[in-house]
Amino acid sequence: MRPDGNQIILLASLLLAGLYAPRLEAATNTITTLVEDAVVNGNCTLREALLASIQGAAVDQCAGDSGPDTIVLAAVGTYELDDGDLPPLSGGALEVLGAPAQPRSAYLVDLGDQQRFLHARSGATLRLENLELTRGSGASMPGGLGGGALLVDDAALTMENVRISASHSSQGAGVDFVSGWNLDLLNVEFAGNFTAGGGSSTVGQGGGLRAIEFSDRLIRLRDVRFVGNRLADPEPAATGFGGGLYLLTSVGSTVELRKLRFQNNFIETLGGASSAGMYGIIGSSGSHFEFSDGEFRGNRADPSVATVSRGSAFSIEFSNLDQASLRRLLVIDNGGTSAAPQAALYARFPTAVVASDLLIAGHAGGGLFLGTSSGSCSILAGNLTVAGHPESGVVLDQGSGSIRLENSIVFGNGTVNGSDVESSTGTPDVAVENLIGIDPLFVNSGSGDYELQALSPAIDAGDATFASVGRWDLAHAPRVVGSDLDLGALERGGIFGDGFETGDFSSWGVAGPGSFRSKIV
């Protein structure tokens, strides 16, 4: 039945008022072949399904329309996708899913060192789940964009149970996310990705992932691993930042990092290098930053000529944040060819940073650098264990801001200025409860066990009322076991007891008492 004139007028009114919209059909394509083609031959390949989503129209036997699309990888094996870059996905929503009953390695998309998987842009929403992208190659784009396997430009990206491996580009060798939209990663691994520079002034950023957020959106990384990624450039003035992760945020961004692992990432540049694990510039007004349960091991920032600046494992600079906290970070055996510290935190402009329950040990250079600039900046550091650095332990550069160190152990480090804790500028507040330059009687620091022996002078020597004290120690045991808090990152006699922090099992690899502690001692 055709609508009468009154019905047409009513429909037009609803459209103008935004109360009615035509229904957008969703297309689902199930891929049952591993081969690649884009010719009309009665099948639906992965390339054809991606083209159908990009074009909003059917391709061969793959359905396509203007609504949100789903691609289901049903064939187990290696999907070939190496016939050249696809057009960008502009707007719209697309999800590509492997069956959750299979491991992600069962759905391996091999890009053949010939192309990206996708370039999502202009408000597109892309979700990948339970698959692996390997051997991606992303040519440099206007504006310095890269992305070996994925380039997400002004679009949203969600990945769960995904591995990005052996991909390369000029920036963001695995994934380059440069956006004003959300980035949400859960159980994702970046492994063996690498940048390849190409100019005398090249700045390499993000051997695994480069994430740049320009607006008040969310960057959330949970259970994400960066393993064996590499920034390299043979040009004389080339510099590298963030061998695993490069992170830059702007106004109002919320950054949540939980259970991140950085292992054996590497920077090799002639002009300078910083932070083979993670490099971050976080700001500005209205922003929020939280980093908990991180691990840095074996990351190396080794330029052949220039010295390593800032932290060899990680360096984070904060500006104009409402709140910034780092809790429970393990930083062991990261280094380079110079005496740079393993970790560095900077507070610039109005920002209050809290860092607690950090264990930083076992590096040929220095341990930890804390620096502030203006008088409205502060860093509060507590329950640190910093040990085994021949150059320096903790360096405090207060400037005109404020730095306070409390409930910490700093021992067995170089004492160039006569102490394991050095003040380069200003007069930081170093609480009397700290154990500095006194043997805390670790169980076996030579083998990486920084637990406290039964007769340690650090036991019950802290003050549980100090502002930096959190609920759990580095290993998620109760922060106070006994009459008072123990100094350092690990509470003696504690066992895993936080109930997985309100049931968020996704942030943990193994359940059970003591399981997390067993990974760090």
SS (HEC) of 455-509:
CCCCCCCCCCCCCCCCCECCCCCECCCCCCCCCCCCCCCCCCCCCHHHHCHHHCC
Burial class (CB in 10 A: 0-12, 13-18, 19+), 510: exposed
Token pair in block for residue 146: 């890269």
Residues in the chain: 521
pLDDT in the model for residue 513: 35
Report the C-alpha gap between 383 and 404 in whole angstroms.
12
Instruction: Provide the pLDDT for residue 77.
Output: 98
pLDDT, one tens digit for every residue, the chain (521 residues): 444 555 444 444 444 444 444 444 689 999 999 999 999 999 999 999 999 999 999 999 999 988 899 999 999 999 999 999 999 999 999 999 999 999 999 999 999 999 999 999 999 999 999 999 999 999 888 888 999 999 999 999 999 999 999 999 999 999 999 998 999 999 999 999 998 765 445 778 999 999 999 888 999 999 999 999 998 876 777 788 999 999 999 878 899 999 999 999 998 887 778 899 999 999 876 788 999 999 999 999 876 555 556 788 999 999 888 789 999 999 999 987 667 899 999 998 888 999 999 999 987 788 999 999 877 899 999 999 999 998 899 999 998 899 999 999 999 998 766 789 998 888 999 999 999 999 999 999 988 899 999 999 999 999 999 999 999 999 988 999 989 999 999 999 877 665 544 444 444 433 333 333 555 54
pLDDT on residue 362: 85
Taking the model in full, what pTM does it have? 0.91
Identify the pLDDT of residue 249. 92
Q: State the pLDDT at residue 414.
A: 87
> How far is the C-alpha of 148 from the C-alpha of 207, rounded, in Å?
10
Nearest to residue 105, comparing CAs of 61, 176, 163?
Answer: 163
In this structure, the number of other CB atoms found within 10 A of the CB of residue 22 comes to: 7
Closest CA to 306 of 330, 336, 345: 336
Phi, psi of 35 (to 5 degrees): -80, 165
Report the alpha-carbon distance of residue 344 to residue 332 in Å, rounded: 14
Helix (H) / strand (E) element for 516: namely helix 515-520
User: How far is 310 from 200, CA to CA, in rounded Å?
Assistant: 22
Q: How far apart are CA 368 and CA 396, in angstroms?
A: 9
Q: What's the CA gap between 406 and 44, in Å, rounded?
A: 62
Phi and psi at 407, nearest 5°, equal 55, 35
Per-residue pLDDT, 269:
81
Q: Residue 493 CA to chain centroid, in angstroms?
A: 31
Give the side-chain half-sphere CA count within 13 A for 470: 28
Q: Are 291 and 320 in contact (CB under 8 A)?
A: no
Q: What type of residue is 164?
A: I
Nearest alpha-carbon partner for 131 in 102, 92, 94, 93: 102
110 beta partners: 80, 134
Measure the N-to-C terminal CA separation of the chain; round to a whole number of Å: 75
Q: From residue 183, give the alpha-carbon distance in Å to each of 128, 176, 206, 367, 465.
A: 12, 11, 15, 31, 37
- Residues near 203 by beta carbon (within 8 Å), at least 6 away in sequence: 238, 239, 240, 241
Residues 366 and 343: their CA atoms lie apart, in Å, by: 9
What local confidence, expressed as pLDDT, does residue 16 receive? 45
User: Could you give the CA distance from residue 4 to residue 221 in angstroms, rounded to a whole number?
Assistant: 54
Whether the CB-CB separation of 162 and 104 falls below 8 Å is answered with yes
Q: What per-residue confidence (pLDDT) applies to 133?
A: 98
List residues bridging with 486 in a β-sheet: none
Neighbouring C-alpha atoms within 13 Å toward the C-beta of 380: 13
- Amino acid letter at 517? R
Strands 449-452 and 442-444: antiparallel
Q: Are the C-beta atoms of residues 495 and 518 closer than 8 Å to each other?
A: no
In 4-60, which residue ranges form alpha helices assigned H by DSSP?
A: 5-17, 46-55
User: Which of 433, 445, 444, 440 shows the shortest CA–CA distance to 457?
Assistant: 440
d(CA 105, CA 162): 9
Q: Are 236 and 269 in contact (CB under 8 A)?
A: no
Can you give the pLDDT at residue 21? Answer: 40
Pairing between β-strand 272-274 and β-strand 385-387 as defined by DSSP bridges: unpaired
